[in-house]
Amino acid sequence: AQSVAQPEDQVNVAEGNPLTVKCTYSVSGNPYLFWYVQYPNRGLQFLLKYITGDNLVKGSYGFEAEFNKSQTSFHLKKPSALVSDSALYFCAVSPPSGQNFVFGPGTRLSVLP
Amino acid sequence: ETGVTQTPRHLVMGMTNKKSLKCEQHLGHNAMYWYKQSAKKPLELMFVYSLEERVENNSVPSRFSPECPNSSHLFLHLHTLQPEDSALYLCASSQEAGENQPQHFGDGTRLSIL
């Protein structure tokens, strides 16, 4: 069975500093990987996805994520954090077998001014 | 504007009431989903519809009854709920079910059971 882990419940970073939100996964075969963001009182919003190809994926709002097959990781990164990036971030995996998404538990990012 | 609209945004109901949650997508997608989001728990997939047919039902209690009359609308009918059912209920859609397309979410209905 597939699973997604986000080892940090909370990540704090100062504005202007680089940020990383970690995600590891377990799935049979080659996965499809996604990041979503949730702002207060809103639904989840798609940021980026990895299907195949280049291991570095660029997404919305300056975010990017790096797929590492050997470490089964898909960490979300941004070179310079903004206060407005403060939100809940979810990693998700969709196995190629056609089953639906499995979401991680979420990581709360706080960017401090 | 998300392309997926959920109503109502907030709902308070007693355990004996019957109510319905509504979801409408304006994206031309073929798959629609209901999720439950509770505090400090992972997002739980409840139901999946593809081309108006239910393709997945993840052991959800029968007090939750979904309905998909067409590919643009999805309902969740609620009856005799329990306090532990209080949560944020999210609707989502994607081009196809189980493929590699991202899901587009509505802003949810915050449900409180008295």
Binary contact (A44, B90; C-beta < 8 A): yes
Length of chain B in terms of residues written: 114
pLDDT, average across residues B79-91: 95
Per-residue pLDDT at A3 exceeds 80 = yes
CA pair distance B103, B78, nearest whole angstrom: 24
pLDDT category at A98 given cuts 50, 70, 90 is: low
Q: Residues A31-73: pLDDT tens digits?
A: 899 999 999 989 999 999 998 888 999 999 999 999 999 999 9
pLDDT value at position A45? Answer: 95
**Contact criterion met (CB below 8 Å) for B90 and B37:** yes
Per-residue pLDDT at B21 exceeds 90 = yes
B27 contacts in chain A (CB < 8 Å):
none
Two structure tokens written together for A91: 């990693």
Instruction: Please give the DSSP secondary-structure letter assigned to residue A15.
Output: T
Per-residue pLDDT at B6 exceeds 60 = yes
pLDDT value at position A29? Answer: 80
Per-residue pLDDT at A5 exceeds 60 = yes
Say if residue A18 is preceded by a cis peptide, omega within 30 of 0. no
pLDDT, average across residues B25-40: 93
pLDDT value at position B58? Answer: 73
Interface of B with A (CB under 8 A): 2, 4, 6, 33, 41-43, 45, 48, 56, 90, 92, 97-100, 102-108
pLDDT value at position A49? Answer: 94
CA atoms within 13 A on the CB side of B44: 15
pLDDT value at position B23? Answer: 98
Q: Residues A71-84: pLDDT tens digits?
A: 999 999 999 999 99
Per-residue pLDDT at A99 exceeds 70 = no
pLDDT value at position A97? Answer: 65
A96 Rama sector, left if φ>0, alpha if ψ -120 to 50, beta otherwise: alpha
Q: Residues B48-83: pLDDT tens digits?
A: 998 888 887 778 999 999 999 999 999 999 999 999
- Residue in A34, A98, A105 nearest the CB of B42: A105
- Residue in A42, A94, A101 nearest the CB of B107: A42
Per-residue pLDDT at B2 exceeds 70 = no
**A94-103, B45-54, B55-64, B84-93: the lowest-pLDDT one:** A94-103
